[in-house]
Amino acid sequence: VHEFLEKTVGKPMVDDVLDDGRKFYKWRNQPFIPVEFSVAAYRFGHSQVRPSYRSNFGPTPADVNSQVFKLIFKDSLPDGPDPNDLRGGKRAPTRFIDWQTFFDFGDGNVRPNKKIDTKLSTVLFDLPGFAPGDVQSLAQRNLLRHLTFGLPSGQSAAKAMKLPILDAVHLNDLKPLNLHDRTPLWFYILREAGVEEDGKQLGPVGGRIVAEVFIGLLQGDALSYLKQDPGWTPTLPSAAANTFEMTDLLRFAGVVAPL
């Protein structure tokens, strides 16, 4: 709530939903995952994926040649105990993650995600694990789900939520497809993040859907901290007083090998 969600939707949005309550995500009996979240808004993460990552610094971290950079996946690469991509399910030593690339330990090694915008890394257009003839492109799969689930356009969602609608000039590239004024929600949310927030976080429509569902699910869960003890703060040791971050959790878990 106070790290990942704030980074994803912005602190003002998190504060607003916590302090002033949810406006749109409601349930009668049990909380549920709305399709606007699962089929569109929360698939924003597809745009953050980089084609390759430095997963491990190797035996001599200062030497860039010992660092392990690999594509996230490439179906055509041979399988085996240590394939030349980052597919999971293998235990070779170089496949253990050095977290310093992914979280900021203050050592200058952290690398940012790709921005949230309407560009996707090429590897995601050739997904592994799907039978030949099946749709291999993640973008195409997301957009087909938009149709099969009958999702509202981004413009309809913004209107229903009484939020500013993205100016048509920002969707000019969709004119030839006639989707510039009824844009698939997933694409709209990515464009909104790119235009309104320079791709660093979600914009007003995407951010509100993600924030309300994340916080709503916690509020609807009788065992969550928000229900049991909303003022609770983590009690484990942390590097800085009164804050507790993923880096603290990883250190506490003993999984951060010194470089």
Q: Does 70 bind ligand HEM (CB under 6 A)?
A: no
Structure tokens at 78: 């041979």
The interface region with ligand HEM, picked from 12-20, 43-51, 163-171, 203-211 by CB under 6 A, is: 43-51
The burial class, CB within 10 Å (0-12 / 13-18 / 19+), for 136 is middle
Look at residues 73, 124, 70, 138 and name the one whose alpha carbon lies nearest to residue 101.
Answer: 70
Q: Which is nearer to ligand HEM, 72 or 195 (CB)?
A: 72
**42-50, 59-67, 147-155, 173-181 -> range binding ligand HEM (CB under 6 A):** 42-50
Touching ligand HEM, residues 113-132 (CB under 6 A): 127
Alpha-helix residue ranges (DSSP H) falling in the chain: 4-9, 11-20, 35, 138-148, 154-160, 185-197, 204-219, 225-228, 246-253
Q: How far apart are CA 199 and CA 195, in angstroms?
A: 7
Please identify, among the stretches 90-98, 138-146, 213-221, 222-230, the one whose residues bind ligand HEM according to the rule CB under 6 A.
138-146
Does residue 45 interact with ligand HEM by CB under 6 A?
yes
Q: Is the dihedral of CA 28, 30, 31, 36 positive or negative?
A: negative
138 forms part of the interface with ligand HEM (CB under 6 A): yes
Q: What residue ranges in the chain does DSSP mark as E strands?
A: 52-56, 68-71
User: Smaller CB distance to ligand HEM: residue 86 or 171?
Assistant: 86
Question: How far is the CA of 70 from the CAs of 11, 67, 110, 140, in angstroms?
Answer: 33, 10, 16, 25
* 1 contacts 150 by C-beta, under 8 angstroms: no
Residue 49 near ligand HEM by CB under 6 A: yes
Choices 19-27, 45-53, 62-70, 188-196 (CB under 6 A): range interacting with ligand HEM: 45-53
**Residue selected from 1, 6, 22, 38 as contacting ligand HEM according to rule CB under 6 A:** 38
**Binding ligand HEM by CB under 6 A: which of 72, 165, 195, 217?**
72
Q: Note the residues at the interface with ligand HEM (CB under 6 A).
A: 38, 42-43, 45-46, 48-49, 72, 127, 138, 141, 145
